[in-house]
Amino acid sequence: MIQAQKGTKDILPQESANWQKMEAAGLEVFSKAGFKEIRTPIFEATELFARGVGDSTDIVNKEMYTFEKSERSLTLRPENTAGVVRAYIEHGFHRLPQPVKLWYKGPMFRYERPQAGRQRQFHQIGVEMFGCAEPSADAEVINLAVKYLNNLGLNDLEIEINSLGCSECRKKYREAIKEVLKPYLAELCEDCNFRYEKNPLRILDCKVDSCKKIFEKEEIQKVILGDFICDDCKAHFDTVQEYLAALNIPYKRNKQLVRGLDYYNRTVFEIKSNNLGSQNAVCGGGRYDSLVETLGGATTPAVGWAMGMERLNSLIPQAVDSRLDAFVISQDTTQAIKFANELRNNGFSAEFDYSNKKFKKQLDKAAKAAKYAVILMDDEIKSNTVTIKNLDTSEQVNVSQNEYIKYLK
């Protein structure tokens, strides 16, 4: 038997209601703030991710699904920000009134060890805002993330924010981190040693316990907790915090928060749920003011976030009642087809028995599938009536065929 591949999962019919709920909530919340949906291809040129995500990241070095086709290197998207930026540049969105506000949903692909809430094919929902350098844009996207999670019934949230500063701030911070960690290189893991040269800030994102213990040393904490951001970056970050306070969004500053991708600058943030285990982040994002330029566009400030939908799905209540509104019971297939179609045309979900089984078998099937049975046996057809049975209470009523839709409504 051929089975689904490791790290992939079928979303079965009984689970689909929750996924539809997550997608519908995105459309509702984001469109109210003027965000438009964008759908980008599932595969892109490998160079897009190497340049955009960064060649010092685990994603580019270890996790991408890359293949050759007609002497071109293509990659299944491991995240969607780079693809949305490519679309922004390619379709001349810089000529539109700014900011350009976009949202997306869809599958991503990373070759990593499958675990709870994390698959090799997984799904993300996210927003991106281009063309606004003001701290109000940072606060806006954080607020949208909170509103979206609240819409799904998730309120037990912990929001962490930090500022990485501009390129000059980060340069000073990188040098300070390298200097203080240099004596401990032999004790740090292989990944941290690689990051030490490529992107030392990402060392702080290491999840290896032995490395985390080193970061807790007093002299290292002094550097981590130091303030390396310049006056302009500090003013930007202070204003973001003012706006979050005005929106009554509780948060805490985490100076060790750096995020896992190379393109972030200034504001970065994570939203965590206290209902998950150690892997408790449900949303991550921040500002990436240089990415559009890095990928060949004009200098364009940008900010956004993404959420893993598998993790969201594990947190939101599972849909209970996915039954049909009505099941038409009749041994006259013509009547059954006609009435099921009429019910659907009037906004009800309805089915009938395609095999035209005996009455009791049809009723048993209806009881499992629907809230109401619409019964059209010989007596009803002769008297031009319909028997409607409430399948939860077993109460039933006989009404005119001209009135049954009105009665159900």
pLDDT band at 147 (very low <50, low <70, confident <90, very high): very high
| 100 and 203 share one domain | no
| 188 and 300 share one domain | no
pLDDT at 300 over 70: yes
How many structural domains are present in the chain?
3
SS3 annotation, 272-307: EECCCCCCCEEEEEEECCCHHHHCCCCCCCEEEEEE
| 349 and 210 share one domain | no
| 200 and 182 share one domain | yes
| 141 and 70 share one domain | yes
pLDDT band at 275 (very low <50, low <70, confident <90, very high): low
- Could you tell me if residue 198 is inside a domain? yes
pLDDT at 277 over 60: no
| 33 and 178 share one domain | no
* CB of 28 closer than 8 Å to CB of 21: no
pLDDT in tens, 350-390: 999 988 788 999 999 999 999 999 999 988 888 999 999 99
Angle at 84 between CA 307 and CA 137, to 5 degrees: 65
Q: Residue 342 sits in a domain of what CATH number?
A: 3.40.50.800
Give me the pLDDT at residue 15, please. 86
- Could you tell me if residue 345 is inside a domain? yes
pLDDT band at 321 (very low <50, low <70, confident <90, very high): low
Q: Residue 87 sits in a domain of what CATH number?
A: 3.30.930.10
Backbone angles phi, psi at 16, to 5 degrees: -65, -30
Domain stops at, among 265, 280, 315:
315
Q: What is the mean pLDDT of residues 17-33?
A: 94
pLDDT band at 33 (very low <50, low <70, confident <90, very high): very high
Write out the residue range of the structural domain in which residue 404 sits. Answer: 324-408
| 67 and 98 share one domain | yes
| 344 and 333 share one domain | yes
pLDDT band at 159 (very low <50, low <70, confident <90, very high): very high
| 368 and 241 share one domain | no
pLDDT at 227 over 80: no
pLDDT band at 236 (very low <50, low <70, confident <90, very high): very high
- Matching residue, tokens 């009642």: 321
* CB of 267 closer than 8 Å to CB of 143: no
Least trusted range by pLDDT, from 113-122, 161-170, 265-274: 113-122
